Structure 1
Amino acid sequence: MSINQHLDVFHDLPVRRFGPPSADHSEFTDHGSVAWNIHVDPYGDEEEEFTEAFARFERTVDLSQVSALIIGSWGEVYDNDSSEAVACVLAVKDRLTSLRALFVGDLVLEEAEISWIEQSDLTPLLEAFPDLEVFGARGGTRLVLRPVEHAALRSLLVETGGLPREVTQAVSDSSLPALERLELWIGQENYGCTTTTEHLAGLLSGARLPALHHLGLRNADDQDAVAAAVAAAPVVRQLKTLDLSMGALTDAGADALLAGQSLAHLSSLDLSYHYLSDAAVARVQAAMDEAGVAVDLSDQQEPYVYKDEEHRYSAVGE
């Protein structure tokens, strides 16, 4: 998933963008064969409020067939939060009987920087759809998640340029016995990140995540601290894949990871976008080759030097 392009496949279904009022869907009748993207363009030729677009969607599409739904732009997302879009979905929850996958905030850089996306409390969506298997959101500003019990959720993705500690803690405190994939973009303090490894402790214990086999703790300015915490985390023993990419990982973090518990049981380790020296890259590559683990060490970064000081940043902030 990339913040540079819209989702084109979601929940193994091709994405169909519902489009403006002039869009014609009359000849398309297999409403369950695609993932629907509902969005509005506040600067387009056909001005429309999100509530109006969603009302057209309700009238046009058999909601009982919809298994995957994407909420794109709900207008000027830096002035208006996602609560109105959330309310639209909740209002028809009894008709969305087949819904299994939901993503809120499919916006690309041309529409809004990730830190400009004003989210809201998304917890009611998880509470309203107990059969939901996949849930994702983009944007950490004003994002709220509260602890939930959800027996069906298999994949949870939260993409931010700055992850609030309350959201991280809520994930840690939730009961998600079926969760197989968890990915959190931690981000930068300048863009709202208040998450530390202390707030990750619950999920790193694995106690509430018995089915987890993929963990992504990505895009952290302090990726070294994340790597060190992961190196000793009980949850790692149950993983098949580990993703620590997009962060400001340095030799210290890589060495902490290598000095920690064995990673030989993993099928893959993603460290792409990093600040490792050539020597550290060679050490990690050799260790993973010996363990039989596929490792991604692509996109090596150079520190930004200002006034003789080196600065390193995660891939996504603003």
Structure 2
Amino acid sequence: MDVLFNSIDVRDLLSSHDLDDSSPLSAPDLRLLIDRLQVRSVHIKSKVQQYILSHHDDFASLFAQCSDAVSRSEDLSGQVSDLLRLVSDHPIDVEIRDVVAEIGRKRREAKEKKELLELVRAIVELSEKLKSVKEEVRAGRVIEAAEAVKGLKAALRMRGDAAAGAQEEREPAVYSLLRNEWTECFEEIQELLVRFMENAVRFERECNALRVKYQSSVNGIDGVELHTVLKAMDAVGILDYGLAKVADLMIKYVITPAVNCKPPTLFVEEINQDSGHMTEAFLKIILSSDSKIENVNGETIYSAVIQVIKFIYKYLCFENGPWMQCFGRLTWPRMSELIISNFLSKVVPDNASK
């Protein structure tokens, strides 16, 4: 195909090469030039025809691709026209806004369902824990039950103030039911622990002694240790309530005779053991039969009170400081009043000059 692209020099077509560029061609030269140009044209056409024939498949493929491109462009033009017509008939921004709003609504619904599912799971879990508390109580595992009740109190956000009513109004009604069930569990374990305590610490009138029993049985629950009962009461937060009746018992039958000293009182400790383990501890109260003893000094009263306190600390509170402090808060106001009214008020003179 070089014949198509190479430039043609007119001088090559003339017989004479000594032509002056400024001189005109003669008639013979012009006829010769025309003839030779025609021959050259025929030659070029022949070359082009040969090239096309030799590359027929390539040109056919090229024309087919061009035809396909034209067809596709027409289809694309039709689609664009349809889209423009659709947009003009139904504004796409409105549909997009509706789709976005629907997506937002579906997401909110999914979030609400997820939160509801989590709430249901939490409620089921709390209900199962409350059920397990009752089972623990019936099985005598009072420490485990007490710790579970304490944990559920925090989980259920139990409150006893005025804000509790407003809080319940904002929460699902099922939480109120769960709180009621928790209250039942709390009262059940509280009643059980108090009964264990009453069974463990008693005043035996027959032998005039305070008895501390280290294993008790209540409601078919056997062999619960006194230390376990105290630990459970401490865990659930009712230690002062559980020791209140014991404190009343101690003031009435032990502290009052020790301070009153009419007649003078002696205390004797007695420990019962089985296989090296304490089963019972007694603080026996022995009233003196010596009628000659009329006045008892403060040292005797102090010694008796200290003996009682040491017995309580060792055999009832298991040498646990916080437990003893709790018991002291329950007994000290009445104990101090007894000491003042029965001893100090009598030894302090009415007249300051004496």
TM (norm. structure 1) is: 0.27
Higher helix proportion: 2
TM (norm. structure 2) is: 0.25
